[in-house]
Chain A
Amino acid sequence: MDLKLDHHTKDGIEVVDVEGEIDVYTAPRLRELLIELVNNGHYQLVVNMEKVEFLDSTGLGVLVGGLKRVRAHDGSLDLVCTQERILKIFRITGLTKVFGIHDTVDEAITVRKSEK
């Protein structure tokens, strides 16, 4: 399956919904969206990966790039993911220590707002 991207604002935080496969072919589209959001002043991001079917290191690189961009503006990029096969990639690369990873979008937003 190809990659489907959507985004909306919830409680002042921009939620990016990602569906499908994030790999070397599709990752540039996610990168462009994250760059566009940051350029438009959205520095608090939640990337909802619940419908992601495949993620490789290219996708990880794009998420790390997004995190660097929002951090440059004292922002945040949190992830929503409960799929074990996706979480495994974050664990292998040690990125569970870098990203906030939550079970639901609401939880991600609540935690982020409580840390403000």
Chain B
Amino acid sequence: MSFTPLPVHVRTARLVATAVARRSGVQEALLDEVRLAVGEACSRAVEAHRAHCPAEPVRIELTGADGRFEVVVTDAAARDDGSQGLMGGPEGENGLPGPGYGLPPGDGLPGEDVGADEPDPLLPQGLGLAVIAGLADDVKISRTPAGLSIRMSWPLGEFQG
């Protein structure tokens, strides 16, 4: 499915993903992780689209096969702004944050150095992907000329359909 890149739709997207995960057989104990990880991926994609291509929809695929429930969130926000890496922090495997992302040097606070009179970045660079990396059972992030694709999956338990 795809949706217009508006923040108000992110809640719906994560609720739908959680419902599909439940019906596909993902264990109840993992559903909170699915909900949060999908929300993070969609939030990141919405922010990217709003900055680069607000008319383009965000795409999300939900599939259950081969014992895995897989979610793929794909944006179409090709970036030519020279931004470094995916995380704005130390990178580890698969473009995911390296260890110790959460506490960079300095004042110990992640995100951009925000002056008291400047607006906060709503989504501190890389923090969302750091959360995804900590939640999803398996994560692969790939950048294409068209944009970024976040593929996350969790094990399926007993099919409940």
B interface, how many residues as a size bin? 20 to 34
For A73, give the chain B residue with the smallest CB separation. B116
**In whole Å, how far is B55's beta carbon from the nearest beta carbon of chain A?**
19
**In whole Å, how far is B144's beta carbon from the nearest beta carbon of chain A?**
23
Q: Is A69 part of the contact surface with B, judged by Cβ < 8 Å?
A: yes
Q: Is B105 part of the contact surface with A, judged by Cβ < 8 Å?
A: no
Q: Within 8 Å CB of A36, what residues of B?
A: none
Instruction: Give Cα A62 to B10, complex, Å.
Output: 18
| Total A residues in contact with B, Cβ cutoff 8 Å | 30
**In whole Å, how far is A82's beta carbon from the nearest beta carbon of chain B?**
16
Question: Do B109 and A64 have beta carbons less than 8 Å apart?
Answer: yes
**In whole Å, how far is A4's beta carbon from the nearest beta carbon of chain B?**
15
Q: Within 8 Å CB of A58, what residues of B?
A: 43, 122-123, 128
Q: Is B36 part of the contact surface with A, judged by Cβ < 8 Å?
A: yes
Q: Is A93 part of the contact surface with B, judged by Cβ < 8 Å?
A: yes
- The 23 listed contacts between A and B (C-beta, < 8 Å) are A23-B11, A24-B7, A24-B47, A24-B123, A25-B8, A27-B122, A56-B128, A57-B124, A60-B127, A61-B111, A61-B120, A61-B127, A62-B122, A64-B110, A65-B120, A68-B114, A92-B130, A92-B134, A93-B101, A95-B102, A95-B110, A97-B103, A98-B103
